[in-house]
Amino acid sequence: MNVEILQFVSFYAAVLCLWTSAVFGVGCLFSPSRFQARYANMAAGAGFALLTAFFLLRWQAVGFLPVTNMFESLSFFIWAVALVYLVVEHVAALPTLSSFLLPVIALFTLVAVVIVQGPGSVDPKLQSAWFYLHVIFAFIGYATFAVAFAAAVMYLLQRRQLKSKKSFDSVFHRLPSLEVLDRLNQQLINMGFPLFTVAIAVGIGWAHRSEILGPNWPNDPKVVFTGITWLLYAALFHIRLLSVARGKRVAHLTIIAFVFVVFTFLGTRYLASGPHEFLK
């Protein structure tokens, strides 16, 4: 079979699996006997494996980590979120996390399907160790922030339920306790922030030493918004470190910071062009 067809087959199969996992993820919140959480995880695992296959095939075809356009970049982000999700789910065993995170992944795959395209051209200047370090650290960092975002949403829902002083229906009964969600958020930020920081440090070093973003790189919109995002996560990280606040405020900040991540990632391309925005 044509390699390009094989790539798309594995991509669409991955999307299908991830959507199935989202359906089971949401379903298990409302009817765990009909939609079992383990099927959500199995489908997510299959989606992750197929997406990995997609990247390996494309990598082999272009000879380069395929994040050459928005579509590939988004797919790589989805891959990273699925990876972090599977790891967290394996370690923490929180079935309801799937109900909140897997639909987010499914939404991103929807965007990816809309902008699906073949491999872009590769600027030879980009091909360096800097690139791999920068991209991989940034994406794994972003992925942990996505999971932290889901945990924060869950925290706020459970908190609202507790403050409402109402009887726990079976849905809220399945949500974990505030303590678990707050701790998960903390652990994810503690993990994601250093990764993100390394990615930025590598990026700055790289921009300094090469001409990729031009001499005016600090004004690149992605650089500016990444700076703001980093400040938000730095604030979160230090709030945790010093126990200044907990709970609701931290959850709100986690959500705002993730909105910045998504905007930095998807939105800044409309503000300028350059290799950061995949527009040349």
Site for another protein, rule CB under 8 A: 158, 161-163, 165-168, 170, 172-173, 175-180, 183, 243-249
Render 180-192 in DSSP notation, one character per residue. Answer: HHHHHHHHHHHHH
Minimal distance in Å, beta carbon 162 to another protein?
Answer: 6
Whose CA is closest to 44, among 75, 94, 85? 85
- Count of CA atoms in the C-beta half-sphere (13 A) of 276: 30
- Considering only the C-alpha atoms of the chain, give the largest distance between any 2 of them, rounded to a whole number of Å: 61
Minimal distance in Å, beta carbon 231 to another protein?
Answer: 22
> Which residue has 């996992």 as its token pair?
21
Minimal distance in Å, beta carbon 151 to another protein?
Answer: 13
Give 70 or 153: the residue with its C-beta nearer to another protein: 153
φ/ψ of residue 245, rounded to 5: -145, 165
Q: What is d(CA 75, CA 77) in angstroms, rounded to the nearest whole number? A: 5
Give 172 or 278: the residue with its C-beta nearer to another protein: 172
Give 164 or 216: the residue with its C-beta nearer to another protein: 164
Q: At 58, list the tokens.
A: 């494309």
Minimal distance in Å, beta carbon 171 to another protein?
Answer: 12
Minimal distance in Å, beta carbon 239 to another protein?
Answer: 10
Q: Hey, what's the torsion of the CAs at 174, 175, 179, 184, to 10 degrees?
A: 120
Q: What is d(CA 177, CA 163) in angstroms, rounded to the nearest whole number? A: 13
Give 36 or 197: the residue with its C-beta nearer to another protein: 36
Minimal distance in Å, beta carbon 163 to another protein?
Answer: 7
Give 78 or 175: the residue with its C-beta nearer to another protein: 175
Q: At 103, list the tokens.
A: 């639909």
Whose CA is closest to 258, among 33, 114, 100? 100
- Residue 159: CB partners within 8 Å, gap ≥ 6? 178, 247, 248, 251
Give 33 or 121: the residue with its C-beta nearer to another protein: 33
Q: What is d(CA 148, CA 255) in angstroms, rounded to the nearest whole number? A: 8
Give 72 or 182: the residue with its C-beta nearer to another protein: 182
Minimal distance in Å, beta carbon 194 to another protein?
Answer: 22
**Per-residue DSSP letter, 247:** T
